[in-house]
Amino acid sequence: MLVSATEMLKKAKAGHYAVGQFNINNLEWTKAILLTAKELRSPVILGVSEGAGKYMGGYDVVVGMVNGLLKDLDIDVPVALHLDHGSFEGCYKCIEAGFSSIMFDGSHYPIAENVEKTTELVKAAHSKGLSIEAEVGSIGGEEDGVIGMGECADPKECKSIADLGVDFLAAGIGNIHGKYPANWKGLSFETLAAVQELTGELPLVLHGGTGIPADQIKKAIDLGVSKINVNTECQLAFADATRKYIEAGKDLEGKGFDPRKLLAPGAEAIKATVKEKMELFGSVGKAE
């Protein structure tokens, strides 16, 4: 059964580890992530961007697929299904469809409007038992057509959003979505420490987890980051394994063209990536 992410992230913050949010794109993705979480006894958050939700056929399809897998694969670790970078309307659609967690990305609105919309969604989410994430300071790179340069959040604005009752908060600290450029300056731990100081016990979220060096990930966790989002790294691993399968001509051997065989190396590559991240984040063995 799906759970909200509130409890798992409170435990992560108190225990100085982070729970991974791994974005899903189809059945193979979801199954690979869930089986890895079960094997490693780790809580996990399945992230769904609005674009991926549409690609998979709609939010009802996503909820049906995830709930079916939880039951049939006997997944007995905490799993949250979370809307990633949701619009105001998208958040309501996911509450209706049966998600257990939402993220409202109001970072591109003026702070007053971000506060107003977040306040309304906190009420709507909590009335149905969902957890809610908000964002202050845009995350760099591109996410569903929105391009951000990776500005650092204003810690005071973070506090004003945190005080609205959100369950966890994404603060821009120089992180970006996608591949990091060669001239990337690294995370701003100064900003993160200032946000942590003003928001106290609130779990903080690090977006753009792909490509951040392990030592910076560990330092971010020490400074209060309890949820780390990974998407691009799984996509790259999947693409690389699939390319190798085809370049080796395996799709031309016997029934190697069967999608169950064609997609298997990619699914295994996702499992390996998720395992590596869960070990780095410290969430292995933390499921009760």
Residue 186 gets the label, from left (phi > 0), alpha (psi -120 to 50) or beta, of left
Considering the candidates 60, 72, 84, 215, report the single residue annotated as catalytic.
84
Calpha distance 122→102 (Å, rounded): 10
- 58 φ, ψ (degrees, to nearest 5): 125, 165
- The position carrying tokens 């973070």 is 158
Instruction: Find the helix packing angle between 232-247 and 264-281, rounded to 10°.
Output: 150
Neighbours of 262 (CB within 10 A): 16
Cα–Cα nearest to 24, from 67, 60, 58, 56: 56
- Cα-trace Rg, the chain: 18
| Catalytic site includes residue 76 | no
Residues involved in catalysis: 84
